[in-house]
Amino acid sequence: MAEVTALTLNDGVQIPQLGFGVFQIPPDEVVKATRTAIDTGYRLIDTASAYDNEEGVGQAVAECGIPRDELFITTKVWNDDQGYDETLRAFDVSMAKLGLDYLDLYLIHWPRPRLDKYVATWRAFEKLQADGRIRSIGVSNFAPEHIDRLAAECTVVPSVNQVELHPGHPQHDLHAYHAAKGVVTQAWSPIGRNQGLLEHEKVTAIAGSHGKTPAQVVLRWHIQRGIVAIPKSVRPDRIRANIEVFDFELSASEVDVIGHIGTAQKVGPDPALFFDLS
């Protein structure tokens, strides 16, 4: 299998461009799924305290036999744990569940600006990074104004913003903003949670011409746009297929067509609304 490409974050840390997401994988299934992913060649695992499966991810990491420094483990601080002291405590809880002594990437899961705690949360992230407990710190579901505020009031610019992004919701403006600020875009729901995107006629036509599946073509589209994609699956055949995207190339016009298929197909909550939930 061709090697997974990597990007260099603004702090010099290398991040694999394809990882394994474990949202909605129940605790009793996550060890097997994560082991399958690691055995298949995935090195980045994306979990969160809110997914209630950090223990299983940690078990898979402990049992997999891959040296720790070859893996890239991400988790996220949940909304209820925002604030400086709360975040420091939540980090310790996540690390105990994961069974790790350092983390590769810690993300603020949602900005929740009405709480007005994400700056304090970010200062805790900066301390944890300065203390050597996290290699890289980033955010998730942040709008440009939130990242700009961190850049203005804090020291470290986020290395990553993990947002919903797929051809049904391509986020061209946000991706351009990230590029201008040196922030890597990480795509959640990169294949649109399989809610119609993979049956789109333009996607299936391009897939057919490459002898690839629609999911592989969509994942390749992320790779060629300089995005990190973290597809989830519990099926070994799909886990394997989803990483086999480094042995073919889309043309520039195919990348353009996939990025403008014109279906508004957002699958997750709108950050602008989710901000207001408790």
Ligand X SMILES: NC(=O)c1ccc[n+]([C@@H]2O[C@H](COP(=O)([O-])OP(=O)(O)OC[C@H]3O[C@@H](n4cnc5c(N)ncnc54)[C@H](OP(=O)(O)O)[C@@H]3O)[C@@H](O)[C@H]2O)c1
Residue 109, annotated as binding a ligand = yes
- Sign of the dihedral through C-alpha 261, 263, 268, 269: positive
Active-site residue, selected from the candidate residues 51, 102, 106, 177:
51
Sign of the CA dihedral with 52 first, then 121, 8, and 143 last: positive
Which residue's CB is nearer to ligand X, number 88 or number 207? 207
162 near ligand X, rule: CB under 6 A: yes
**260 part of the interface to ligand X, by CB under 6 A:** no
Single residue of 68, 114, 172, 235 touching ligand X by CB under 6 A: 235
Residue 271 in the binding site for ligand X (CB under 6 A): no
Cβ contact 268:170 at 8 Å: no
Which residue, among 55, 58, 24, 23, has the nearest Cα to 38 in the 3D structure?
Answer: 58
Q: Is 51 a catalytic residue?
A: yes
Least distance CB 162 / ligand X (angstroms): 5
184 near ligand X, judged by CB under 6 A? no
Q: How far is the CB of 216 from ligand X (least distance, A)?
A: 7
Considering the rule CB under 6 A, would residue 230 count as an interface residue with ligand X? yes
> Interaction with ligand X in 185-204: which residues (CB under 6 A)?
188-194, 198
Closest to 150 (Cα-Cα) out of 164, 138, 136: 138
- Of 46-65, binders to ligand X (CB under 6 A) are 46
Write the single-letter amino acid at 19: G
Q: Which stretch binds ligand X (CB under 6 A): 18-26, 88-96, 119-127, 199-207?
A: 18-26
Give the angle subtended at the CA of 39 by the CAs of 244 and 212, to the nearest 5°.
15
Residue type, 10: N
Spell out where the chain has E strands. Answer: 6-8, 14-16, 19-21, 44-46, 72-77, 103-108, 134-140, 160-164, 184-188, 228-229
Q: Which chain residues interact with ligand X by CB under 6 A?
A: 21-23, 46, 109, 140-141, 162, 188-194, 198, 215, 230-235, 238, 241-242, 268
Instruction: Please give the positions annotated as active site.
Output: 51
